[in-house]
């Protein structure tokens, strides 16, 4: 009986030791995806990248959340990969060639159509909080 306890103890140590070697991190990247097709493109591609464990994409906010292995990849590599898919990734702009290959519906600037009225100073990719509804009110403060 004592032996089993020791075995379990050793096994537990081995497992936690292994887990500590690969540090799992989570990052949320602001993209400029607009539609379900964008979501599909991301969900099909992102999990294949080196070091990526899982990902989710929120269509309303265009935010891509990636759980990754820090020893295998890093935040800027992930952003660069998003850019290569044809989407902006935080401060990194979308790769032009990749973007040109996206379906037409995906290349529409997300905030192009909203009606903030004059004096709206935010860019097309940031700061606007209405979740991409073209007719909805703009929630951000000027």
Q: Which residues bind Cu ion (CB under 5 A)?
A: 34-35, 37-38, 106
What are the strands, taking DSSP E only, across 39-109? 52-58, 63-69
Q: How far is the CB of 21 from Cu ion (least distance, A)?
A: 38
Q: Which is nearer to Cu ion, 37 or 74 (CB)?
A: 37
Q: Taking a C-beta distance cutoff of 8 angstroms, is the pair 126, 30 a contact?
A: yes
User: Of 29 and 38, which has the nearer Cβ to Cu ion?
Assistant: 38
In angstroms, what CA-CA distances link 23 with 19, 77, 101, 107?
Answer: 7, 16, 35, 35
Q: Which residue is nearest to Cu ion (CB)?
A: 106
User: Among residues 38 and 73, whose Cβ is nearest to Cu ion?
Assistant: 38
CB of 132 to Cu ion, least distance (A): 11
| Helix boundaries (H) for 22-70 | 36-45
């Amino acid at each position: 009986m004592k032996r089993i306890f020791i075995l379990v103890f050793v096994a537990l140590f081995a497992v936690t030791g292994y887990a500590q070697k690969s540090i799992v991190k989570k990052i949320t990247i602001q993209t400029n995806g607009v539609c379900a097709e964008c979501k599909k493109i991301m969900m099909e591609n992102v999990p294949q990248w080196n070091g990526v464990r899982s990902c989710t994409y929120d269509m309303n906010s265009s935010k891509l959340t990636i759980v990754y292995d820090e020893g295998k990849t890093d935040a800027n590599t992930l952003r660069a990969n998003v850019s290569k898919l044809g989407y902006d990734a935080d401060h990194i702009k979308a790769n032009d060639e990749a973007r040109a290959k996206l379906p037409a519906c995906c290349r529409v600037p997300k905030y192009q159509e909203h009606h903030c009225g004059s004096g709206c100073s935010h860019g097309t990719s940031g700061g606007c909080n209405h979740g991409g509804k073209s007719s909805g009110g703009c929630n951000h403060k000027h």
